Structure formats: C-alpha cells, structure tokens
A and B are shown apart, each in its own frame.
Chain A
Amino acid sequence: MSHIVDTMFPPEAEDRGGAATPLLAVNGLVKHFKAKNAVVRAVDGVDFHVAKGETLGIVGESGCGKSTIARLIMQIIAPDSGTLLFDGEPVGSAALPLGDFRKKVQMVFQDSYASLNPRMTVEDTIAFGPRVHGLSHKAAVTRAHDLLHRVGLEPSRFAGRYPHEISGGQRQRINIARGLSLEPRLLILDEAVSALDKSVEAQVLNLLLDLKDEFGLTYIFISHDLNVVRFMSDRVMVMYLGKVAEIGSSEPIFKKPRHPYTEALLASMPSMDPDNRTQEAPITGDPPNPINPPPGCRFHTRCKFVSAICANAEPVLHDVGGGQSAACHLANPQSGHPRLAAAA
C-alpha cells in the first residue's frame, strides 16, 4: 500500500515522538452526563497510555465507562476535563489540529449494520473518508478496492453491494476497511466482534492480527469477552464504575489478578470442564448504578475482602511490579487494610 502512503501522509510526518513516546496518553479523563436530577459519573478520573504497536484491551461490565472512553478519545463527545496526548502532541493544539488527529484515529463499532449508511454502496462507504480528506475520486476508489482485497472481500463481487446485501461478518470487514481508509495509526475496536457468530468471530480476529502487522497499527480493543481480550491484548485495563481497577501486562493480570474485582470477573467465566463446573458465584448482585457510585472503593459493596477502610478511603493505582498496577488497598502494603496486618 506504499503508493497510498505517498499520496496522503509524507513518511516524515509519522512517528514524531520516537518509539519511547506513547502513541496515546490519557490523563485525568472525566466525563459526567447530566440526567434528570442526577449525574452519571461515566468516566471519573482515568489515566492510561497506549504504546506504539501494542494492543490495549479494555474490559469491564456494562456501565463501567469503557465505551465512553472510546468516544472521548475519538472526540465524538467532549470530556469535562482531562488531556489527550497523541504521539506527544496535545490533541486539538496547533501542532495537532482535530482534523489531522481524526485521520490518525479510527473506530469500529459493535453494530456492523447501524454503523454503515444503508444507501451507500460498499465502495462509496470506504472511499468517502479519503475523498473528504482531499483524495481524487479515482484514487479514493482505487484505495477502496485495495482495502476490500486486504480484508478478504473480492472487490469485483462486493464493491457495488449495499450493506443489507451482505452478511454480518462481511459487514464488519467493510467497517474495518473503512476504518483503515485514512491510514490511521490507532484503531479503536469497541466490541467489534461481539455481535458475530463464533465461527466468524475467529476469522475477523485473525484478520485484525494480520492487518496490525501489515500496517503497523496500534489497537484499543474493548470487549466484555475476556477470552478474546486475553488473546488479542498485550496490556489490559480493567474498569469498574468509571474507574480503573487494574491495569498492566495481559498475562500477569490473567494469571495473577491483584484486584478482587478482576479476580471475580475471571472466576465468572463459565468453566469449560463438565466435571468441574462452577459451584459458587464469585460475587453477588449486579454492578451498582454509576449515578450514585459507592464512596471509597467503588467495588467495596460487592467485595469479599471489604473492611472499614474500603468504604472511607479511595484506593489509588499502586504498582505491584511486573508492569501491573491495582487500585485496591490490599495491593498497597502501606494502606493499613486489616488483612495485610493479619497476613504479616
């Protein structure tokens, strides 16, 4: 695809900050939605970064804020506070105007049908973005055909079709092709494979891995399916009610979670062993409402290790080594949680 890079992004514009600068750094991100007589604390002070070339998985249950974060990064909605640095440049600054940023970050949504214009052909859908950003009609169509080919759809068969004429898995491939049409550096996948049948899901996951290598992409992969997140991600961020519960390298988190919520989430996955079924639910009740989140640690109302300190003091992310941090008093030896004293 080198001819396309030449026409749109001169190579020197890429990778300004060098390999050590995170591609995306998010600091103090807050988004509260005003409802009738209430405030939904959807995202309530979140910091994280995504390194170049890695996949950051975001997991959590409904209402934890994972999709709101995706929308905030995409600038679909404006944050109440917080900053975004893209390759070291503040988003929206003179160095990185919003229009330029939007070319570099693209998103694929869960509902493959709702996210396509039903009155545009597959070819027009993919060529639309590049045309808006200044490519000639002919060059944009060439690019659309090239991308169709890359996502495994024969352009001669699919370019002229409408979204309702193709299957869900194929539509999601179109959405991915459209996401890539502006040569982004960061692709946000918000439950992008969740609506697909299992046999098709595996194909799309493989495609995403191949495209990542081919185009040198960085992914933010949001999903409620922990198996899929584990398979895709280098690092994982676990969210609970608008806060980060735990973040770090994928394998340590899946092998030895340090936040009781992460542990419960992992233990809630159905067992695949008929002789060793789950006997007891790891936690009871539903996630509380983000309108009035519990004080202190937001998980304390469902946590089996709860003590007085958890309701009073909010734990901050504490580095537990191995690139893993957990926002739990038990992860911080200085927190004064009674279980730590008992264990010592």
Chain B
Amino acid sequence: MPIVEVKNLTVDFGPKSKPVRAVAGVDLHLAKGETLALLGESGSGKSVTLRSLMRLHPKSARTGGSMQVDERDVLAMPYGDLARYRGSIVSMIFQDPGLALDPVYRVGDQIAEAVVRHEGTSFKQGRARALELFERVRIPSPERRLDNYPHEMSGGMRQRAMIALALACNPKVLLADEPTTALDATVQIQVLLLLRELQRELGLAVIFVTHDIGVAVEVADRIAVMYAGKIIEEGPCADVIRAPSHPYTKGLLASRADHSFEKGARLTAIPGTPPDLATLPPGCAFAPRCAVVLDACRNSTPPPALISRHHFARCIRSEPAAARQATV
C-alpha cells in the first residue's frame, strides 16, 4: 500500500469561463521511505502538484481527482482534520526559509509552538524537542541558536532550521519545494546530504520538487518529469537519466552545458518556449517544440507507454526497451 497515491489530479486557477489548467491529470504513487523527484521548468505544475497534497491552494482554485495520503482522503478532509494532518502526517519545506519562518519569533519558540500545538506537550518539552532537532540537523552551538531570530542566521542555517521545524511532529511524508535552489553551491550539497540522511534514518517518504537534474540525481530513487501540467516521463532515476525516452527529457539532458566541453561548440537547445497554460495545443503539449513531431502528435495526448519495468513516457514514439534493442 503506497503512502501517497494521487490519481488524475487536476488543478484549475482563474475564472471558470477562462480556466488555466496548471495540473492536467497527474498520477503519482510513493512508497514508504521512497524519494521521488518532480523535475520540471517554471509553469510545469510541479509546485502546484506538491501544494495540492497539503491543500495549500486559495479557495478559488478547483481541484479534481483523488489524493490518498497515509490512507486518508486529502480532498474530503474537513478543516479540523486538515490542521492535524499538516505537520504531523505531511510537512513541507520551501525554497525561501526567510519567508517561511516568522521573522518576529525566536526560531526555537516557533518549533516548540508546533510541538505543543500538535502533541499537547508543555512548552518546556517543546523547547527540548527543538534542541534535539537542531542537533539532528547539525546546527552548530544549537542551544544558543534556538534563541536566534531568523534574520540572525545564514541562509544555510535557516534552511536547516526550517527542516527541523518540518520534522518537529514526526511526519511520514516530507514535501520539499526547491529547498536548495537559493543556496550557494557549497551549502546546497550539505543540505542535500542532510536531507538524504534524514530520509534514510527516519524512513521518510519524500517528494522533492526541483528544476535541476543534478539535484534530482543526488536525492531521488525515482524521477518524474513534468511538462505543461502532466508527467511526461517517469522511472527509476538511473533509467530516466541514462535512457531518456521522451524528446523533452532527452532535450533537457542534451542542453546541459556540461555535456559539451568543446570550445566554440553550440549547445543542443530545445527551440521555442514553454507553452502558455491558458492556450495549450490540443495534442501533446510539447509538439510545437518537438524535433521528431508526427501529425498524430497534434491530435491527442498520448497515454503513458511502458518502456521498461516502472519506466514510462507519454510519447507516441516511445517503445519498450526490448523492442528498441531488437530494431538496432
């Protein structure tokens, strides 16, 4: 039984007469202790998918499909249950800890408050738990740092503090929305390694949203690539990186600057720009930019085609790995 199961999730924003479909039918499943990376560019729907799992959208957003987390129906949850669910079953870390932490309270108190609210302990016990968490996320001189305000910490330390806050009530699922994007390179790798270690030791299920393939490879067991609100390719990390099947995934991997060190060479770029969600083409959303587009691509969205065990792509041209080998 997967701990997260999302079926045909759709999220619409804007007026009903002119909706913008940010998520257009996403299926996801996540086992206990597994890390899934949602990889995509801005506007691909990766963050919206993540926020749906916490029901963080404004009231005007319309969500369809079904979401089961730890055997709870997230969409049917009344508000009181939702408050208990957030933080103790599922918690989230964000790109900018400076915005996610309250600037006028000491960081230690913010963590203690969450523990008191969710577990009904005394404030003193909450602070003790906060200290334990600060040690766990390896903040140097943790006793002193608990009394810091967020602005007194460096970027890397604030991100560690936010991870501590997210773990305060022993969640089973951690949602990470680009948590290392704003960090410097030498700090980013430290935070990635910390998240990997915590995930392993606490048996967390993690959904990690990122636009950086390198970051996804460092943390994920599986990678799901999103484009225009749909998962267009998904599979075990190594399969997606080494044998990408969808032209978009192939293009993303080929356009990385580290693939061609030859001076004066040009990068293999994907032409065009990501589509406007309000005016999506009828067929495959990637068709206008695709180098190997067929007429059929413009008519209907291809269903997921299985390439190998657990690896699929939404592309007409995708073939099972076995068949591909046979034709070579």
Measuring CB to CB, which residues of chain A are less than 8 angstroms from any residue of chain B?
61-62, 167-170, 197-203, 205-206, 209, 224-228, 230-232, 234, 251, 264-265, 268-275, 277-287, 289
Neighbouring A residues of B273 by C-beta, 8 Å? 167, 169-170, 200
Contact A199 B258 (CB under 8 A): no
User: Is B41 an interface residue, CB under 8 A from the partner?
Assistant: yes
Interface-located stretch among B61-69, B99-107, B189-197? B189-197
Question: What is the bound-complex CA distance between A251 and B42, given in angstroms?
Answer: 32
Measuring CB to CB, which residues of chain B are less than 8 angstroms from any residue of chain A?
41-42, 140, 154-157, 184-190, 192-193, 211-215, 217-218, 237-238, 241-242, 251-252, 255-258, 260-261, 263-264, 266-271, 273-274, 289
Contact B257 A228 (CB under 8 A): yes
Contact A199 B256 (CB under 8 A): no
Going nearest first, the 8 A-B pairs with the smallest beta carbon separation are A270-B214, A202-B255, A202-B269, A61-B184, A231-B257, A197-B41, A227-B258, A286-B154
Contact A203 B185 (CB under 8 A): no
Q: Which listed residue, A201, A232, A279, A287, touches B186 by the CB 8 Å rule?
A: A287
Neighbouring B residues of A270 by C-beta, 8 Å? 188-189, 192, 212, 214-215, 217-218
Contact A278 B156 (CB under 8 A): no
Question: What is the bound-complex CA distance between A272 and B217, given in angstroms?
Answer: 6
By beta carbon, the residue of chain B nearest A234 is: B263
By beta carbon, the residue of chain B nearest A279 is: B193
Known: A61-B184, A272-B258. A199 touches B217 (CB 8 A): no
DSSP majority for the B interface? helix
Neighbouring B residues of A274 by C-beta, 8 Å? 217, 237-238, 241-242
Q: Which listed residue, B154, B269, B289, touches A206 by the CB 8 Å rule?
A: B269
Contact A275 B193 (CB under 8 A): no
Question: What is the bound-complex CA distance between A167 and B270, given in angstroms?
Answer: 15
Shortest B137–chain A CB gap in Å is 13
Neighbouring B residues of A169 by C-beta, 8 Å? 273
Question: What is the bound-complex CA distance between A114 and B151, given in angstroms?
Answer: 25
Contact B257 A205 (CB under 8 A): yes
Question: What is the bound-complex CA distance between A203 and B257, given in angstroms?
Answer: 11
Contact A281 B189 (CB under 8 A): yes
Question: What is the bound-complex CA distance between A167 and B190, given in angstroms?
Answer: 34
Shortest B167–chain A CB gap in Å is 20
Question: What is the bound-complex CA distance between A289 and B157, given in angstroms?
Answer: 13
Contact B211 A198 (CB under 8 A): yes
Q: Could you list some 15 contacts between A and B, CB below 8 A?
A: A62-B184, A197-B41, A199-B255, A200-B273, A203-B270, A206-B267, A206-B269, A224-B184, A227-B256, A230-B261, A231-B267, A271-B214, A275-B238, A280-B193, A281-B189
Shortest B214–chain A CB gap in Å is 3
Q: Which listed residue, A198, A227, A251, A278, touches B189 by the CB 8 Å rule?
A: A278
Neighbouring A residues of B214 by C-beta, 8 Å? 269-272
Q: Which listed residue, A167, A198, A280, touches B252 by the CB 8 Å rule?
A: A198
Question: What is the bound-complex CA distance between A226 and B213, given in angstroms?
Answer: 15
Contact B269 A272 (CB under 8 A): no
Question: What is the bound-complex CA distance between A274 and B273, given in angstroms?
Answer: 29
Neighbouring B residues of A209 by C-beta, 8 Å? 264, 266
Contact B255 A198 (CB under 8 A): yes
User: Which residue, of B157, B190, B237, B257, has the highest number of chain A Cβ atoms within 10 A?
Assistant: B257
Question: What is the bound-complex CA distance between A283 and B184, given in angstroms?
Answer: 12
Contact B257 A227 (CB under 8 A): yes
User: Which residue, of A62, A198, A200, A282, has the highest number of chain B Cβ atoms within 10 A?
Assistant: A198
